[in-house]
Structure 1
Amino acid sequence: MDRLRHSAWQYVAEVLHAEELPMLAAHALVDGHDSPSLRELAGLPRRSDASEVRELYVQALHELDVPLPDDVAAGRCLLVSLAFGLAEGELSPKEVADRMSMTVTALSEEEARFLSVAADYSEWLGPTDLPGWERDLRTAAHALAASTDLAPSIGRPGMRVT
């Protein structure tokens, strides 16, 4: 069920696209989850009508009692996911800035700091300013990853502070 629960915040945060949902459904079936809408979704081609795909996905979640989070919760999960991605070397600072694709609300001091530093990115940052911004973003990412209680919501264990 974790795969589906994690997909729910990604769907609301608009980082999980309609063409990815049929394969996600197929994996969920392999994981042992089953519902009529999930089976139908898993059988759709990748390039199916996006509206139909989204409707089936939401219906499958409903049938499996997987709630869709609200925009605030999904945005916070996105923020924490990006922080972990940067802290663990999976994302570059620029990729983090580029993936801030929706309005997010920061509820903790660490979330606010990470969001604030990420928002300072501009393609016009000069070569002397960019390393400082990257360093500040990495520092904020590590602080957020170490302090958050949302790690399980995004499919990450709590970060080990070294």
Structure 2
Amino acid sequence: MDRLQQSAWQYVAEVLPPEELPMLAAHALVDGHDSPALRELAGLSRRSDATEIRELYVQALHELGVPLPDEEAAGRRLLASLAFGLARGELSPKDVADRLSMTVAAGTQEETRFLSVAADYSEWIGPGELSRWEHDLRSAAHSLTSSTALGADIDMSSPRRD
């Protein structure tokens, strides 16, 4: 999946902080994308005004013809990306719980189960319960990754990856 398309769902799912967007824009320029707003965004510091960064990012996507997904689609991609990250060993069960937005709505039975199990995490969970929760989460992740048409090309890695 193209870096900009990847970033669009991450932006809508609110897992891509605005301070990451100028570097993302710089990488997108190196990848061969170009637009006036993208160039301007790439020239900003990560400490620039967050509102200005967001506005330029959305404008750059528009200029490049990259659509912003709706919140439901972005949330479903977030669930799938967390499941794939856990299944591939890139994320721990706690990472999944920490990165999960509670505003995400599931669209399938497998997404619902994964979301439900992930939401059961608590920092006060006992060691025996923690082991069972991790097992259940891995099982739910496996079910989701086996059933989704979203694909394994989505991930939660930083947009700054090379």
Question: Would the TM-score normalized by the shorter structure come out above 0.5?
Answer: yes
Measured against aligned partners, the alpha-carbon deviations of 1:27-55 in whole angstroms (never above 9, x if no partner) come to 11011110000000001111111100000
Equivalent residues, number: 156
Q: Which runs of 4+ in 1 moved over 4 A?
A: none
Cα contact 1:106–1:112 (8 A) shared by 2: yes
Unaligned ranges ≥5, structure 1: 157-162
Q: Give the number of the structure with larger relative contact order, counting CA–CA contacts within 8 Å between residues 6 or more apart.
A: 2
Q: Which residue of 1 aligns with 2:24?
A: 24
1:152 and 1:81 map into 2 onto residues whose CA distance is 8
2:56 and 2:145 map into 1 onto residues whose CA distance is 33
Measured against aligned partners, the alpha-carbon deviations of 1:91-128 in whole angstroms (never above 9, x if no partner) come to 11111011112411111111111011111111121111
- When residues 155 and 98 of structure 1 are mapped into structure 2, their CA distance, relative to the original with a 3 A threshold, is closer
Q: Which residue of 2 aligns with 1:143?
A: 143
User: TM-score when scaled to structure 1?
Assistant: 0.92
The aligned amino acid for 1:72 is E
1:146 and 1:96 map into 2 onto residues whose CA distance is 18
1:152 and 1:67 map into 2 onto residues whose CA distance is 20
1:128 and 1:6 map into 2 onto residues whose CA distance is 37
The aligned amino acid for 2:62 is H
Q: Which residue of 1 aligns with 2:67?
A: 67
1:4 and 1:118 map into 2 onto residues whose CA distance is 28
Unaligned ranges ≥5, structure 2: 157-162
Measured against aligned partners, the alpha-carbon deviations of 1:10-42 in whole angstroms (never above 9, x if no partner) come to 001111111100010011101111000000000
Q: Which residue of 2 aligns with 1:104?
A: 104
SS at match of 1:151: coil
Cα contact 1:75–1:102 (8 A) shared by 2: no
The CA RMSD over aligned residues, in Å, is 1.5
